[in-house]
Amino acid sequence: MSDFTKRIYHLVGQIPSGKVTTYGQVAFLAGSPRASRIVGCVMAGVPEGMHLPCHRVVYRDGSLCQNDAFGGPEGQRALLKAENVPFLENGHVDLKQCGWSGPAPK
């Protein structure tokens, strides 16, 4: 558990319902713009007790992880749809509408 990891937890926990962000965005806010991989790695190791909305973190393209991360991409998509997150025809989230740029940017 590094300070960088704790920042990721904090940032992901601040993602409002109905909004989504990208791995790179979280990495950028955490202080390492190129540590996008780490965000995914941290997400994979998030304790269930954290109750982090890791399903609100998607690819830069708006697509979801291709693995069985949340019980399958469909599971993650269902969680986002349940939060009224707009989806495109291609099954990707609309980052233009629900893209989260961070906690109250000044």
Partner DNA sequence: GGGCTGACGGTTG
Partner DNA sequence: GCAACCGCCAGCC
What residues are labeled active site?
54
Residues contacting 22, CB < 8 A, separation 6+: 36, 57, 58, 59, 60, 95, 99
Q: What's the closest the beta carbon of residue 74 comes to DNA, in angstroms? A: 13
Burial 23-43 (b: 16+ CB within 10 A, else e): bbbbbbbbeeeebbebbbebb
- 87-106 residues near DNA, rule: CB under 7 A: none
Give the shortest CB-25-to-DNA separation in angstroms.
8
Closest approach, Cβ 40 to DNA, in A, equals 2
Q: Note whether 85 binds DNA by CB under 7 A.
A: no
- Residue 52 token pair: 């982090």
Contact residues toward DNA (CB under 7 A) are 1-2, 4-5, 22-24, 27, 32-46, 54, 58-61, 65, 67, 69-70, 76
